[in-house]
Chains A and B, each alone.
Chain A
């Protein structure tokens, strides 16, 4: 029997209008700041190997899990400020905050490190809030989050000691880092104002540069607002040999778990040799729409979920 779902589609009209205005504001921000908008192919021969991200196969190629590798090849080829808003695909990800196909905003800057990207986030999100007619605070699920800058910067180590039942080192050692982060730490992050969680353990920064002078720390941050994870950023690793070694670790982990490793992204590695020091960031557009539309489920800010197709 055919079910009439049109009321479900009609029901989210307000959120979809807000989303469209939000995307227009994002685009405006980058064009104003002299970024070049780029489109790269969604279907690629070799996705970035990462421990916990699975690509969807498309014939003998893959749907991108992020546009990261193509964007970095452009950086290496001399494009200093680029951004892209595109669809990304990740196998098996479906929850209140996850869709297997979602919209990502990525931007990259030559000659800066991840601290500049924190400032970009502050400027971008406060501009979007202004364009949406939201004042100095956004209300999400009954909680008021003040957007006045600068936002708090909190190291991973500090966040664990403040909110978790064990230190981050202990969580890593017992292989419970993700669980403790998701269940004990994340719900507290960005409750009053957005917060940058930074200085990740090196093993959790697949494509990130290590911090100089501090062993075991990767220059990576995540932006949280009201417990929602919005963005992930790196000072980019530009050491091709080190990058290859990290990819190979992912491949052997995959083999160990009985999966077949993806092809090595050779052309990306070749380009990395020439990539200038840069920083890059990926922001979940659907998550940002959840925040501004005051929705607790990602379903309510997209026109279609897979279940409605």
Chain B
């Protein structure tokens, strides 16, 4: 249990059976009056936001959130299947729950799955992944008309802009947080 004085930015609490994260917080107290805790809260399931002012007598249940390391197995009928490496238990995430991470789901990649009362809320991947370029236009030396980058497709199907010297079959490193090209990987 939390009391209002535990409230701070980033705290995750349960309100009416949904997990919320405190996105903004301020302590206010009118002269000689009671302490008030003004919060902006975001529903971690549907993203809805609202503001609320709490008092010191208010108490909250902690949101029962867990992060589990799980391995990506396959995609089937729009669902992404992950497996817990310890229990071998498998779960399915929707396209929405996977979000941008769907662009970087290499076979067998290990992801952190955020769970609320055993229901998946979202996933986070390693910050950097190395992928093979599966489709790229050949680079003609001296041909800089098309600018400093060109589009390529990588093995996950994701398309991005890379420097013109990257060739089909090469490996590149991508930052999964921004989706941007970082460097060419040798070997």
Pair B27/A98 contact, Cβ less than 8 Å: yes
The answer to whether residues A229 and B35 also contact, given A95-B26, A179-B53, A183-B53 and a CB cut-off of 8 A, is no
CB-contacts of A211-240 with B (<8 A): 222, 229, 232
Q: Which chain B residues border A51 with CB–CB below 8 Å?
A: 32, 34
For the complex, what is the distance from the CA of A257 to the CA of B53, rounded to whole Å?
Answer: 20
The answer to whether residues A181 and B29 also contact, given A52-B35, A92-B5, A93-B35 and a CB cut-off of 8 A, is no
CB distance from B136 to the nearest CB of A (A): 43
For the complex, what is the distance from the CA of A204 to the CA of B57, rounded to whole Å?
Answer: 19
The answer to whether residues A53 and B32 also contact, given A95-B26, A96-B26, A179-B53 and a CB cut-off of 8 A, is yes
For the complex, what is the distance from the CA of A145 to the CA of B29, rounded to whole Å?
Answer: 23
A290: CB under 8 A from chain B?
A: no
Pair A52/B32 contact, Cβ less than 8 Å: yes
Pair B32/A181 contact, Cβ less than 8 Å: no
B45: CB under 8 A from chain A?
A: no
For the complex, what is the distance from the CA of A183 to the CA of B35, rounded to whole Å?
Answer: 12
For the complex, what is the distance from the CA of A13 to the CA of B56, rounded to whole Å?
Answer: 35
The answer to whether residues A222 and B28 also contact, given A178-B36, A179-B36 and a CB cut-off of 8 A, is no
Pair B5/A97 contact, Cβ less than 8 Å: no
The answer to whether residues A178 and B27 also contact, given A92-B5, A183-B53 and a CB cut-off of 8 A, is no
Number of chain A residues close to chain B: CB under 8 A: 24
A50: CB under 8 A from chain B?
A: yes
For the complex, what is the distance from the CA of A93 to the CA of B55, rounded to whole Å?
Answer: 13
For the complex, what is the distance from the CA of A124 to the CA of B151, rounded to whole Å?
Answer: 69
Q: Which chain A residues border B32 with CB–CB below 8 Å?
A: 50-53, 204, 206, 232
Across the interface, name the chain A residue whose C-beta is closest to B38. A183
From the candidates B31, B38, B55, name the one contacting A222 in the complex (CB within 8 A).
Answer: B31
Q: Which chain A residues border B35 with CB–CB below 8 Å?
A: 52, 92-93
From the candidates A95, A98, A177, A257, name the one contacting B33 in the complex (CB within 8 A).
Answer: A177
Across the interface, name the chain B residue whose C-beta is closest to A186. B30
For the complex, what is the distance from the CA of A257 to the CA of B35, rounded to whole Å?
Answer: 15
A143: CB under 8 A from chain B?
A: no
Which of A53, A93, A95, A186 has the largest number of chain B CB atoms within 10 A?
A95
CB distance from A276 to the nearest CB of B (A): 24
From the candidates B31, B34, B36, B57, name the one contacting A229 in the complex (CB within 8 A).
Answer: B31
The answer to whether residues A178 and B26 also contact, given A92-B5, A183-B53 and a CB cut-off of 8 A, is no
Bin the interface of chain B by size: 10 to 19
Across the interface, name the chain B residue whose C-beta is closest to A229. B31
Q: Which chain A residues border B36 with CB–CB below 8 Å?
A: 178-179, 182-183
For the complex, what is the distance from the CA of A247 to the CA of B55, rounded to whole Å?
Answer: 23
Contact with B along A161-203 (1 / 0, CB 8 A): 0000000000000000111011100100000000000000000
Pair A93/B34 contact, Cβ less than 8 Å: no
Pair A232/B27 contact, Cβ less than 8 Å: no
CB distance from A188 to the nearest CB of B (A): 13
For the complex, what is the distance from the CA of A222 to the CA of B32, rounded to whole Å?
Answer: 10
Q: Which chain A residues border B53 with CB–CB below 8 Å?
A: 179, 183
Pair B5/A52 contact, Cβ less than 8 Å: no
From the candidates B27, B56, B57, name the one contacting A94 in the complex (CB within 8 A).
Answer: B27
For the complex, what is the distance from the CA of A52 to the CA of B27, rounded to whole Å?
Answer: 14
Across the interface, name the chain B residue whose C-beta is closest to A95. B27
For the complex, what is the distance from the CA of A229 to the CA of B55, rounded to whole Å?
Answer: 20
Q: Which chain A residues border B56 with CB–CB below 8 Å?
A: 92
Pair A182/B26 contact, Cβ less than 8 Å: no
Contact with B along A74-105 (1 / 0, CB 8 A): 00000000000000000011111110000000
The answer to whether residues A182 and B27 also contact, given A51-B34, A92-B5 and a CB cut-off of 8 A, is no
Given contacts A181-B33, A183-B36, 16 further A-B contacts (CB under 8 A): A52-B32, A93-B27, A95-B26, A96-B26, A97-B28, A98-B29, A177-B33, A178-B30, A179-B36, A182-B30, A182-B33, A182-B36, A186-B30, A229-B30, A232-B32, A257-B57
Give 24 CB contacts A-B under 8 Å: A50-B32, A51-B32, A52-B33, A52-B35, A53-B32, A92-B5, A92-B35, A93-B27, A94-B27, A96-B26, A97-B28, A178-B29, A178-B30, A178-B34, A178-B36, A179-B36, A181-B33, A182-B28, A182-B33, A183-B53, A186-B30, A204-B33, A206-B32, A222-B31
- For the complex of A and B, list the 4 residue pairs with the smallest distance between their C-beta atoms, beginning with the closest: A95-B27, A178-B33, A182-B30, A52-B34
